[in-house]
Structures are given as C-alpha cells and as structure tokens.
Structure 1
Amino acid sequence: MDLSYETLSNIAKSFGLFYLIALSIGITVYAFWPSLGNRFDKAAQSVLNDEEGPCR
C-alpha cells in the first residue's frame, strides 16, 4: 500500500466524516433521552423565572 498524500488525506477525511456522524447521533440520543427531559425543562424555565433581571 502506497502511503501517499492523497491516500492519507482520503483516510483522514473519511475518518472525520464518520466521527462527526457518530458524534451527531450521540448528541441527538442524549438530547432526547427520556430521563433527562425534566433536567432540560427545568433549565429552560430557569431563564424565564429570573426575577432579579440582568446583572449590573
């Protein structure tokens, strides 16, 4: 196997593509995991319940 620049570049591009696809799937599964729904809802509502206003 000839390890030229083109070969290594194609391997790196393919690895990066599959890495990003796997990372995207992992993040999506984490975001929609049923037991984490309460944590995300609480975080979303905490911004709206801030009664002090912006920091001065």
Structure 2
Amino acid sequence: MDNAVYDGLRHFADSWGLVYMLAIFIAVLLFVIRPGASAHAKAAARIPLEDNEPITGDKTQ
C-alpha cells in the first residue's frame, strides 16, 4: 500500500473515526438511561424464567 494512502486512511480514522465511535457511545448511553428503559430491561431479564413449556425427551432426533 502506498504510504500516502496509509497516512490518509490513518488520519481519517484518527479524526472522524473517533467522532463516529463517540457518537455511537453517546447514542447507546442515551438509549440505556432513557425514561422507561428500566421496565424494558427488567422484562427482558425475566424472559428465560418465564418459559412454561415442559421439557420432553431428547430434541436431537
């Protein structure tokens, strides 16, 4: 790879890549702390405990 291309891509990743990753981090943070997120998280955490289907035999066949 040409050294100028490498330096250009590295500069892009160092500047705009960092901005992009920071924006993603802030978006996820806001999604987690939004009002109502606690109820959704608690409901999702209970999904494995609410499986009411009986286990019957070996399901590999």
TM range (shorter): 0.5 to 0.7
- Matched with 1:46 is 47
Normalising by structure 2, we get a TM-score of 0.61
1:1-56 matches, within 5 Å, as: 4-5=4-5, 6-52=7-53, 56=59
CA distance in structure 2 between the aligned counterparts of 1:8 and 1:41, rounded to whole angstroms = 43
Normalising by structure 1, we get a TM-score of 0.65
SS of 1:34 mapped into structure 2: coil
CA distance in structure 2 between the aligned counterparts of 1:53 and 1:24, rounded to whole angstroms = 41
Percent identity, please.
Answer: 27
TM-align CA RMSD: 2.1
Larger radius of gyration: 2
CA distance in structure 2 between the aligned counterparts of 1:46 and 1:32, rounded to whole angstroms = 21
Aligned length: 52
Higher relative contact order (CA 8 A, sep 6+): 2
- For structure 1, which runs of at least 5 residues remain unmatched after alignment? none
Name the aligned partner's letter for residue 23 of structure 2. A
